[in-house]
């Protein structure tokens, strides 16, 4: 019997707990802009989402923001759906295994912050520029 026989891959609930802990650890001034943000964790992105994003490989999508961003909410209209961040367990675990230099909690928090940045109205290019600047 191996010392690893009792271990199991982190579950949806484990990833959810890491995401919620990561969100709680963010500065209050950041969290205060997200009072209605819904956080969910799913196993994998579905085919409709892949089509919408123009992605062929579901493992490329670790998370997604859906709903109106803050700028759209300030435009005076009511958003049609609450802002939502969905994290995808399997792609996150694969990226974690590939990286090898971050904890799972750090990676989940990074994906969460990336998706919340979309809620703030930032594009992938904006976020990449910030990542490059802070690296």
What b/e sequence results for 111-128 when a residue is b if at least 16 CB atoms lie within 10 Å of its CB, and e otherwise?
bbbbbbbbbeebeeeebe
Instruction: Kindly report the average pLDDT of the chain as a whole number.
Output: 87
The share of the chain scoring above pLDDT 90, in percent, equals 57
CB 133: neighbour CB atoms within 10 A?
7
Domain ranges of the chain: 12-134
Question: How long a stretch of residues is the chain?
Answer: 135
3 state DSSP class of 20: helix
What is the reported pLDDT for 61?
96
Distance from C-alpha of 6 to C-alpha of 2, rounded to nearest angstrom: 8
CB 24: neighbour CB atoms within 10 A?
9
CB 18: neighbour CB atoms within 10 A?
22
CATH 3.10.180.10 fits 12-134, yes or no: no
68-99 pLDDT, tens digit each = 887 765 555 555 678 999 999 999 999 999 99
Could you tell me the pTM of the whole model? 0.87
């Amino acid at each position: 019997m191996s010392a690893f026989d009792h271990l199991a891959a982190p579950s949806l609930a484990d990833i959810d707990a890491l995401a919620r802990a990561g969100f709680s650890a963010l500065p209050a001034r950041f969290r205060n802009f997200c009072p209605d943000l819904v956080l969910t964790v799913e196993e994998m992105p579905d085919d409709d989402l892949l089509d919408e994003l123009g992605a062929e490989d579901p493992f490329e999508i670790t998370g997604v923001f859906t709903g109106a961003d803050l700028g759209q909410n300030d435009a005076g209209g009511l958003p049609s759906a609450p802002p939502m961040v969905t994290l995808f367990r399997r792609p996150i675990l694969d990226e974690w295994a590939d990286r090898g230099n971050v904890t799972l909690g750090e990676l989940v928090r990074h994906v969460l912050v990336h998706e919340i940045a979309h809620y703030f109205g930032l594009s992938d290019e904006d976020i990449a520029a910030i990542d490059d600047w802070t690296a």
